Structure 1
Amino acid sequence: MRTTAWTAALVLMLDQASKYIVVHGMGLDRAGAIDLLPPWLNLRMAWNQGINFGLFSGEDAITRWGLVALALGIALWVWLWIGRGRHDARVTVSAGLLIGGALGNVIDRIAYGAVADFLNMSLPIWQNPYSFNIADIAIFLGAAGLVLFTGEADTKRRR
């Protein structure tokens, strides 16, 4: 559980620090866009009131607090599940990634009413219309890791 907690704490700190630096320090909330290595890496401010790609977005308090409750519920469920037994290091790190990312986006929803997305990666022949943040990357990697690595040790033991 210690690995999960440290991973979650690291993700949460990196996520919140990056959002503070980019949104407030660099003024992306006012500028709207800053090109870093166009078209490969750009900063594009997007306030996401929903989940991935703006799904389930809404400006009402029910949607906002419902998504906060859902994220906290998932993070708590993963935390309790990890605490119930021994898991491979990849599983505990994956759980920490997911929990830290979820908590980072929860803080945004509480503080701003929406999640601060700002990373945008495109190609010379394709302009990506979506932005994301470090918490989103951690959630994706954590969920993928839990799917890929959970149960792997049990399968090897049975063989």
Structure 2
Amino acid sequence: MRAWALVVLAAVALVVYTLDQTAKIWVTENLELGVPHQVLGPLLTVQFVKNPGAAFSLASGATWIFSIVAAMVTVFIIWFAPRIRSMGWAIMFGLLLGGVLGNLTDRLFRDPGFAVGHVVDFLKIPFLPAIFNIADVGIVSSMGLFIILTIRGVALDGTRHVKRAGGSPDETVADREPHADQDALGPDHQQPNPELKG
């Protein structure tokens, strides 16, 4: 069964989305636009800004394009989700979905209008020349997890390709995540029956 993967994906997406939107509501209701407030000294500053573009406020005149792209990504994740049987990939897609939905909500329902709304950004850390939000954190985290899963060779069905002991560098063997779905192995795969031993 792959229902558990869908539950994990949806739960992660809901947590990211809820934290993002709750934080944005608090920021817009309690902070003055453009005024920085240090939270952890120079390590973390909260500053309410409205971002009409992409990251670093690029392409500020093409907000509607980002709305379309975000909507397409959302539809793709929902359509693709039933194929996921790996805990790692479920978390990755959950982080991405929650982040994309968080910023898409801003673009659809905030001023100045539908599909051209400005995204609320408010987090600022040293050495990063941009102000971001929790949705952005979810998206960036998903990209980092994507790289890790890819490097480790973890497939969407939960199998992991590892080098066979004593084999050539190109020789791999399928290993499985502890929570991967047994159905992914196919109908011909059967578990050994301990009663038949001896």
User: Size of the alignment, in residue pairs?
Assistant: 148
Pairwise CA distance, 1:55: 2.0
What are the superposed Cα offsets for residues 123-151 of structure 1, whole Å, 9 maximum, x if unpaired? xxx5x442110000001111222343255
1:50 has 2:53 as partner: yes
Question: 4+ runs of 1 displaced by more than 6 Å?
Answer: none
Structure 1: gaps (5+ residues): none
Match of 2:27 in 1: 22
Q: TM-score, normalised by structure 2?
A: 0.68
Higher RCO by CA contacts (8 Å cutoff, separation 6 or greater):
1
- Work out whether residues 34 and 42 of structure 1, in 8 Å CA contact, stay in contact via their aligned partners in 2: yes
* Mapped partners of 1:45, 1:111: distance in 2: 18
What are the superposed Cα offsets for residues 72-104 of structure 1, whole Å, 9 maximum, x if unpaired? 111221222222x24310110110110011000
Q: TM-score, normalised by structure 1?
A: 0.83
Larger Rg: 2
Pairwise CA distance, 1:27: 2.1
* Mapped partners of 1:148, 1:76: distance in 2: 24
- Work out whether residues 79 and 95 of structure 1, in 8 Å CA contact, stay in contact via their aligned partners in 2: no
Q: What does 1:86-101 correspond to in 2, within 5 Å?
A: 86-101=84-99
* Mapped partners of 1:116, 1:135: distance in 2: 10
* Mapped partners of 1:87, 1:67: distance in 2: 30
What are the superposed Cα offsets for residues 48-81 of structure 1, whole Å, 9 maximum, x if unpaired? 11111122221xxxx2222111011112212222
1:149 has 2:152 as partner: no
- Work out whether residues 28 and 34 of structure 1, in 8 Å CA contact, stay in contact via their aligned partners in 2: no
